[in-house]
Structures are given as structure tokens and as C-alpha cells.
Amino acid sequence: MISHREVPADATIKEVVVKQEPTGEWFAVLGIETENGAPPKPENPEKCVGIDVGILKYAHDSDGTAVEGPDLTDERERLERAQRDLSRKDHGSANYEKQQRVVARRHADLKRKRRDFLHKLSNYYAREYDLVAVEDLDAKGLMELPSNSRNRAGAAWGTFLRMLEYKCDREGTHFVAVNPRGTTKECSKCGVETEKPLWVREHSCPSCGFEADRDLNAAYNILSRGFDQVGVVHPDSMPAETALPPGTVAVPAERVLETGSPVLSEAVRPSRAG
């Protein structure tokens, strides 16, 4: 038997659900209750971050880390080949049913790689910070927009935000979902709104002259709204007055998948124990 993780010693198993996946694999899902509850959330959070999610960069935070999304090209190509092979089989035949299981395994490979990335990224933010501010996105509504729906579906923003929320609760971290309206247009320095087509990747305020990466500016605004919502005083250092911060780190998804942390080195951002 292969277990996802060990059951805590103080856990009481409340429910067991046994299910079979289309791949033919069997799983037992345990619902448990532990004696030790979540740690209390700090009244005055010190380490705070705003996260802007997107397609070109999966996540860009207010500390200057830009995380690329996972490259699922190989998995998608294997899935498409399996689907083409399935279309050539006689419906209802033994070969057709066998190929159906192959297609199911390819779907599962794609899903597992994506969820592995999302689990590790959300776990990092929940453990590293005292407060995490995100946009309160209508993921279902975004999926219904006419353009780029495949990339939106592959991004799985709703799944990421749900994972992040329950992990923040587990770690005693404030999770704040703010109104997303205008976070990209609004200048994080002076509040003036400027229209930006999607291809414009830098924010340049015509009012105060503040310049920053488009997504970094949005992350600043998200964090600022998170402070307002929780009642935390804004630090004087936000936002940093720089066009492209020298501390900005572009992190490939492979680093998240391999190490479970988007940080490239201890010199970039210290890690919190545990």
C-alpha cells in the first residue's frame, strides 16, 4: 500500500471513502480529526505578501518573486496521442476499453503534475508568511470568457486559491481575498487608474511617474487592500520606487516541483523553520 502521507499519531479516523479511478486504481480517502488545532493567527502580522496570478507568470508576488507555470506540453501531447489512438479503436471492443484506461492514465498524469505544483506553491506561501493577500477571483466566470479559455482552465487558479486558503488556516496565517477590480489599472503609489492593454507589461503612472512591472504593481495593490481589510497599517516601504526591482526573481516551475519552494537561494529570502 502506498500512502500520500503518514496519519498523525493524535488523529482519530472519522470517515473512510474507497473509490476506483477510471485508470483502474483504487484509493482510500481518510477523514481525520486531530487533537491539536491550528495555531492562532498573529494580531500584528509582520511578513506579508500580495499575490497576483496570471498566465504569462503563474504568480507574481509583492516581494518580487515571479513564478512560471508548470510546463505540461509533454503530458498534453501524450494525452492527445492516446485520444487519437482511442478514436481508431472499435467502440465497445476489448482494445477500445484497454485504450480508454490509457487515456485515463494520461489525464491523471496531467492532473497530478499540475496539482503537485499547486500544492507546493500554496504550501510555501502559507508557511513563509503571516498574511497572504490574493484577488477574490470568479474562476468560473473567467472560464466563460470567449478568449484564452484553455490557458485559464490549465492555470487552475480556483484550485490554487482554495489550497492556499485551507493551508493558511492550518498554519495560522491570515488569508485575505480582496476585490480584484482595478488592481492592474490602479497605480500602487498614488491610486490613479491607467488603462493598459494586455500586451503592455509595465506600469508607468502618468500622474506620479511611478514605474514597475505590471504584475508587481498589481501585487502591491492586492497587498494594500489586504492591509485595509485586516486593519494593518501600511508599511512605509511599500511600494518600492523602482522600475524593475533588482531583487525580482523569475523562478521556473521546475524549481517548485523539485524542491517545493520557489526561492532560488537562502540569500533571496530567508525560510521560516517548519
- Residue 144 neighbours by CB under 8 Å, 6+ apart: none
Per DSSP, the residues of 6-60 read PPPTTEEEEEEEEEE-TTS-EEEEEEEEESS-PPPPPSS--SEEEEEE-SSSSEE
Q: Could you confirm whether 85 is annotated as catalytic?
A: no
At position 191, the amino acid (one-letter code) is G
Pairing of strands 65-67, 249-251: parallel
Catalytic option among 61, 68, 213, 215: 215
Ranges assigned E (strand) in 147-254? 174-178, 202-204, 211-213, 249-251
Do residues 254 and 74 touch, judged by C-beta distance below 8 A?
no
CA distance 28 to 47: 38
Maximum CA extent, the chain: 69
Q: Which position has the grid cell 505540461?
A: 72
Distance from chain centroid for Cα 80: 26
Look at residues 79, 134, 124, 127 and name the one whose alpha carbon lies nearest to residue 105: 79
Q: Could you confirm whether 52 is annotated as catalytic?
A: yes
Q: Could you confirm whether 165 is annotated as catalytic?
A: no
Q: Which position has the grid cell 529570502?
A: 269
Helix (H, G, I), strand (E, B) or coil at 149: helix
Catalytic option among 52, 75, 130, 213: 52
Catalytic option among 63, 68, 75, 135: 135
Catalytically annotated residues? 52, 135, 215
